[in-house]
Chains A and B, each alone.
Chain A
Amino acid sequence: MRKILKRPGVQAFIASVICILLGLLIGYIVLLFINPKGASESIINVIKNFFTWKKPAKQLSQFGNTLSKTMPLILCSLSILFAYKVGLFNIGAAGQYIAGACASLYAALAWGWSWLPCMLFAMVAASLLGAITGFLKAYCNVNEVISGIMLNWIALYTSNTLLSNVKEVASPYTLYLDKVNPSALLPTLGLDGLFNGNDKVTLAVPLAIVVAVLIAVILSKTRFGYELKATGNNKNAAKYAGMAENRNIILTLMISGALAGLGASMLYQTGYMRWECTQSSVPGMGFNGIAAAFLGGLSPIGAIFSSFFIQHITDGGQYVNTNFYSSQISDVISSVIIYLCGFVLFIKLTMNRILSRKGAE
């Protein structure tokens, strides 16, 4: 038993579960504080999400919705954790996600490209935005968090301006993808049949999982991944060992950006959402990616499960009793979880201390 508990993977899992439980508890307390009457029911609905529905068919198609929104989140959390492993906090993933959304929608709606070129274009656009952050970090010593935040806002306003060219006349939303250019929709590969005909479940699902595995392999099994991690641990030591440290920083943020951009294409090219050209806040997907990355113990495989969980409770937010509460309670829960992830190091230390004390007896 003690041997199992000493494994880092198991400890990371336990720490994440503790964070989740505490996060939910705090969410529950907030609900109780607002109105004690419906709190229990509402928090259970948040956890149940699509199971709140009675009919199995409805459950399946709602499950499909959650699943299709999980995929972009997985990509965003991969983007965050990939950069984090190299010692960079890529909060700019949110802006890179916007760049990806803008590129894929523009190519699809204005130029009539089909799905694959649109997807690749999204990755290119997003990685270029990442490259700016990387360049500023490597050559001008600009903190990547500050430049990332600035670029998030620049990307938002640029996208609003550009996508206004392909929006509906009467509304601030972009045109319907499935009406204007169905060839840009991601193929469903027959997966919609599994989810009661929900055609939002697409190629994105297997693709996201493949990418997660790929990132895991790159980070832990290749020389390239090792070089990146070495640069992250000590830039000067990496340079001394003959690694191109500035190139590595830029490359990392480009890959990180491409991942976020791919995530955006996975959401907007299902036709699930349209871009609102008057948006005045940065979409939360990139920020939720931070939550998912840390909750998953910064492991690409862990990110798959943590992303699903975060999306699950985010969607669950709509099932609270809106007579008293608002759906943002899920945002409260997930941000509390991110906050608690800051204590993971402490939790692990405590666990090890208890274990070694027992070992000494």
Chain B
Amino acid sequence: MLLLIQYTLIFASVLLLVALGGCISEHSGIINLGLEGIMVVGALGGALVMRSLATTSALVMVLVAMLAAILSGMLYSSLLGVASIHFKADQTLVGTAMNLLATAAATVLVKAINTAANPDDHSSEIEYVAARKMFIVNINGFEFNWFMLVAIFAVVIVYFVLYKNRFGLRLMACGEHPQAAASVGINVYKMRWSGVLISGALGGLGGLCYILAGVSIWKFENGVAGFGFLALAVMIFGQWKPTRIAVAALLFGLFRALSNTYTGFPFLVSLNLPGNVYNMMPYIVCLIVLAFTSKASRAPKAEGIPYDKGSR
């Protein structure tokens, strides 16, 4: 039971961070389908730091790895920014390309690094056993991960930024009606860039959190198994509102956690379902939930439409 709560909380943290990123980007008017790829790149940045940084101080390790994940996520998200803000590219296409590129590039890069260190090593894996321990505080068998705290902070901050702050209200105006926002002197390009970069930072953090969730070795060939898209589903279910997103993330986190821990529940084992059913569970729940919640969608009105100064 403790294990289920632990996994639920950590997976919910991942989904929460990434979904909040998607939320901010969409409020600025850019659909960020590349979150999956941003997660991979963030995870890569964090993992490289965790492997190469030799420090015994947990605080330094946690901060530097998180910073690396944030920076690499932001850097990667600028690919989306350039294409969709300045070149009016199809945001769906660019996001998809970014997802494919992230996994391929991460694989090539990690293999190259591994092979350079040891000519016989052609794996795409990075190990971070010691570093992972620094992220975790063991409380009576419950593995508290610092990311859980980060996720809670993130909700609070995003809530205040979006609703209680001039910047956030302007950002949302650009997602609803950019031309109207521009007419009162708001720089739409700047706002959309901030939206994309913040989503890159949160996506990168989420990626690092994901690879720290249950394992201490990550194979970059596998990407992040659709978690970026699950996060987008969490965002839609949460109706683009930070507090509701938090609740949604907990629900989805629970189902994802079940696939890791169902063997610990005699009741579930006695059902004798194949393990694949539990693997499918988050995706099935997601579809059902979306089917019932998408009708009354509160999506930002102008999301996905390239900003054209001249149109009205």
Contact A343 B83 (CB under 8 A): yes
Contact A325 B108 (CB under 8 A): yes
Q: Which residues of B contact A150 (CB under 8 A)?
A: 226, 229, 233, 283-284, 286-287, 290
Is A21 close to B, CB under 8 A?
A: no
Chain B: CB-nearest residue to A340: B97
Q: CB of A329 within 8 A of chain B?
A: yes
Q: How far is the CA of A38 from the CA of B172 in the complex (A)?
A: 50
Say yes or no: B233 contacts A146, CB within 8 Å: yes
Residues of A within 8 A of B81 (CB): none
Q: Is the CB of B295 within 8 A of A146?
A: no
Known A-B contacts A146-B233, A146-B290; the reply to A322 vs B122 at CB < 8 A is yes
Q: Is A331 in contact with B104, judged by CB distance below 8 angstroms?
A: yes
B89 touches A (CB below 8 Å): yes
B291 contacts partner chain A, Cβ-Cβ < 8 Å: yes
B261-312 contacts to A, CB under 8 A, are: 274, 276-277, 279-280, 283-284, 286-287, 290-292, 294-295, 297
Collect the chain A residues with CB atoms within 8 Å of residue B116's CB.
35
Interface assignment of A324: CB less than 8 Å from any CB of chain B: yes
In the complex, whether B105 has a CB less than 8 A from a CB of chain A is: yes
Which of A89, A157, A287, A346 counts the most chain B CB atoms within 10 A?
A157
Contact B104 A335 (CB under 8 A): yes
Q: Any chain B CB within 8 A of the CB of A140? A: yes
Contact of B112 among A324, A338, A343 (CB under 8 A): A324
Residue of A nearest to B286 (CB): A150
User: Which residues of chain A are near B89, meaning CB under 8 Å?
Assistant: 342-343, 345-346
> In this assembly, does B243 line the interface, its C-beta being within 8 Å of a C-beta of chain A?
no
Instruction: Determine how close the nearest CB of chain B comes to the CB of A80; give it in whole angstroms.
Output: 10
Q: Pick the residue among B84, B90, B294 that contacts A140 (CB under 8 A).
A: B294
Whether B62 sits at the interface, judged by CB under 8 Å, is no
| Contact assessment for A338 and B96 in the assembled complex, using a CB-CB cutoff below 8 Å | yes
Q: State A332–B101 Cα separation when bound (angstroms).
A: 6
Dominant secondary structure at the B interface = helix
Chain A positions within 8 Å of B119 at CB level:
323
B103: nearest chain-A partner, CB-CB: A331
CA of A44 to CA of B29 in the docked complex: distance in angstroms? 42
CB distance from B141 to the nearest CB of A (A): 29
Check B284 against A154 for contact (C-beta < 8 Å): yes
Partner of B223, one of A147, A152, A281: A281
B222, CB-defined interface residue at 8 Å? yes
Tell me which residues across on chain A come within 8 A of B94, comparing CB atoms: 339, 342
Among candidates B93, B109, B111, B122, residue contacting A341 with C-beta atoms closer than 8 Å: B93
* Contact of A157 with B290 at beta-carbon distance under 8 Å, contacts A280-B225, A326-B108, A342-B97 already known: no
Check: A57 CB closer than 8 A to any chain B CB. Answer: no
Q: How far is the CA of A329 from the CA of B101 in the complex (A)?
A: 10
- Measured between beta carbons, the chain B residues less than 8 angstroms from A319 are none
Given contacts A147-B287, A342-B90, contact A287 B100 (CB under 8 A): yes
Q: Which listed residue (B233, B280, B297) contacts A154, Cβ 8 A?
A: B280
Inter-chain CA distance A95–B153, complex, in Å, is: 37
Q: Once bound together, how far apart are the Cα atoms of A152 and B284, in whole Å?
A: 11
Given the contacts A150-B287, A345-B88, A143 and B104 also touching, CB distance less than 8 Å: no
Which residues does chain A contribute within 8 Å of B109, judged by CB atoms? 34
**What CA separation (Å) do A30 and B280 show in the bound complex?**
36
Within 8 A of B (CB), among A250-299: 280-281, 287, 290-291, 294
Judge whether B290 and A142 touch: CB under 8 Å.
yes
Tell me if B122 and A326 are in contact (CB < 8 A). Answer: yes
Query: Is the pair B93, A294 in contact by a Cβ cutoff of 8 Å?
Result: yes
Query: Is A141 on the interface with B (CB-CB < 8 A)?
Result: yes
- Complex CA gap A229/B42 in Å reads 39
Task: Please give the distance in Å from A307's CB to the nearest CB on chain B.
Answer: 16
Chain B residue contacts of A5, Cβ below 8 A: none
Contacts of A116 in B (CB 8 A): none
Could you say which residues of chain B place their CB within 8 Å of the CB of A338?
Answer: 93, 96-97, 100-101
Q: Among the listed B108, B225, B229, which residue makes an inter-chain contact with A329, where contact means beta carbons less than 8 Å apart? A: B108
CA distance A322 to B112 in the complex (A): 10
**Contacts A152-B226, A280-B225; A141 near B294 (Cβ below 8 A):** yes
- 7 nearest A-B pairs in the assembled complex, by CB-CB distance: A342-B89, A331-B104, A339-B97, A335-B100, A335-B101, A338-B97, A157-B276
Residues in chain A within 8 A of chain B (CB atoms): 30, 34-35, 89, 91, 136, 140-143, 145-147, 149-154, 157-158, 160-161, 280-281, 287, 290-291, 294, 322-326, 328-329, 331-332, 334-336, 338-339, 341-343, 345-346
A sample of 26 inter-chain contacts (CB < 8 A) reads: A89-B92, A140-B295, A141-B295, A142-B287, A146-B229, A146-B286, A150-B233, A150-B287, A151-B287, A157-B276, A157-B277, A157-B279, A281-B221, A281-B223, A287-B100, A290-B96, A291-B100, A323-B119, A326-B108, A326-B122, A336-B101, A339-B79, A342-B93, A343-B83, A345-B90, A346-B88
